[in-house]
């Protein structure tokens, strides 16, 4: 892809797509009482940018999304929390894509699970306690299931959308 | 399908591990007898689950309610109210967390026991 205006526009659209997904997700009711449980819809945009643009661009999309969403709807604490999960998950996805034969779905699953792990880890540090580790198994399970769905959607988008 | 061999393997493995961990937690759960309130990582107070009552915590940022052997939080000062949506807890190891106020409420079996250690 050529750099310049076209790429800038495409990236900006991807970031807004990620933000819309985060917003939709924040409006969904939580049906299970586990702190930190979520679908991770925004990961669709992050995986999309990882495959369509590259490593640097996907980092940009991920970090800008988290910062903007926290400024708009969250707090400085939710930013820390989101960055811990987001960066851990993205770094893992980058490495998996580069060095393993895994495809979108498994990469999305690992990303989703590590997003939860990162958030739980950050929460444990912030609270200086390990009480929330109790919820890790539930988050592993929900992260895996949600990651499968997110991965399938991402794979479809990557295949169908041309930029 | 051969293309997705590794994907299927990784996902199956993760599902297996997480389902068995959840099962283990669910099969070994026991009713707790106390809740421990931690603020900034330090134990600040303990309440028996057998005694109904309403207790303001952390200078009033959250309120702990104990009712019929179950504990839950109300009136959180933070914007997200995750702790209120966590609901009622009463099994050993369950906890309610309020990140903005750096506060957690955890169910314990005995008053001075540290509870099940999931890491080891």
pLDDT of residue B85: 78
Model confidence at B111, pLDDT cuts 50, 70, 90, reads low
pLDDT digits (tens, 9 = 90+) for B2-39: 778 889 999 999 999 999 998 988 888 888 888 999 88
Which B-chain residues 73-102 have CB contacts (< 8 A) with chain A?
Answer: 78-80, 82, 85-87, 93-97, 99-100, 102
- Using an 8 Å Cβ cutoff, are B52 and B68 in contact? yes
Per-residue tokens: A58? 């996907």
How far the first Cα of chain B sits from its last, in Å, is 38
Q: Is residue A86 part of a domain?
A: yes
Residue B1 confidence (pLDDT):
67
Give the count of beta carbons closer than 10 Å to the beta carbon of residue A44: 24
Residue, of B117 and A62, whose pLDDT is higher: A62
Class of domain B34-108 as given by CATH: mainly beta
Sign for the CA dihedral angle at A68, A74, A75, A79 comes to negative
Region A82-86: mean pLDDT is 91
pLDDT at position B115: 47
Q: Which residue segment(s) compose the domain that A63 sits in? A: 5-27+39-160
Residues near B2 by beta carbon (within 8 Å), at least 6 away in sequence = none
Position A11 scores a pLDDT of: 93
Do the strands B62-67 and B53-57 form a parallel or antiparallel pair, or are they unpaired?
antiparallel
Task: Look at residue A33 and tell me if it is in a domain.
Answer: no
| Number of C-beta neighbours around residue B88 at 10 A | 16
Residue percentage of chain A with pLDDT more than 90? 61
Question: Average of pLDDT values for B76-93?
Answer: 81
Q: Say whether pLDDT at B113 is over 70.
A: no
B1 interfaces chain A, CB cutoff of 8 Å: no
Q: How many domains does chain A have?
A: 1
CATH number at residue A20: 1.10.1760.20
Who's near B49: CB < 8 A, 6+ residues apart? B32, B33, B34, B35, B66, B69, B70, B71, B90, B107
Complex confidence, ipTM = 0.80
What count of residues does chain B have?
120
Tell me the H-state helices in A28-135. Answer: 43-52, 55-73, 76-99, 104-127
Question: Which of B13, B18, B46, B86 best probes binding to A when mutated, by most A CB atoms within 10 angstroms?
Answer: B18
Q: What average pLDDT does range A26-33 have in this prediction? A: 71
Task: Flag whether A32 is in a domain.
Answer: no
Do the Cβ atoms of A144 and B82 come within 8 Å? no
Contact B107, B34 (CB under 8 A): yes
Is A52 contained in some domain? yes
Mean of the per-residue pLDDT values for chain A? 89
């Amino acid at each position: 892809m050529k750099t310049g205006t076209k790429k800038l526009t495409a990236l900006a659209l991807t970031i807004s797509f990620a933000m819309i997904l985060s917003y939709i997700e924040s409006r969904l009711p939580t049906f299970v009482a586990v702190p930190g449980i979520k679908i991770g819809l925004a990961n669709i945009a992050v995986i999309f940018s990882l495959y369509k643009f590259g490593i640097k661009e996907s980092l940009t999309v991920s970090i800008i999304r988290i910062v903007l969403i926290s400024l708009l709807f969250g707090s400085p604490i939710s930013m820390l929390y989101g960055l811990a999960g987001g960066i851990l998950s993205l770094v893992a996805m980058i490495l998996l894509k580069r060095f393993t034969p895994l495809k979108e779905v498994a990469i999305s699953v690992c990303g989703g699970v590590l997003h939860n792990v990162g958030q739980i880890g950050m929460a444990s540090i912030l609270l200086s306690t390990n009480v929330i580790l109790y919820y890790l198994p539930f988050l592993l399970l929900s992260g895996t299931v949600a990651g499968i769905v997110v991965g399938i959607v991402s794979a479809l988008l990557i295949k169908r959308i041309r930029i | 399908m051969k293309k997705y061999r590794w994907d299927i393997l990784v996902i199956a493995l993760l599902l297996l591990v997480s389902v068995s961990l959840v099962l283990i937690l669910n099969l070994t759960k026991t009713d707790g007898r106390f809740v421990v309130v931690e603020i900034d990582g330090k134990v600040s107070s303990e309440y028996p689950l057998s005694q109904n009552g309403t207790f303001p915590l952390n200078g009033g940022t959250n309120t702990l309610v104990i009712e019929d052997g179950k504990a839950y939080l109300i009136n959180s000062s933070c914007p997200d109210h995750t702790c209120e949506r966590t609901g009622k807890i009463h099994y050993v190891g369950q906890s309610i967390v309020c990140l903005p106020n750096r506060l957690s409420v955890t169910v314990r079996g005995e008053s001075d026991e540290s509870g099940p250690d999931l890491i080891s």
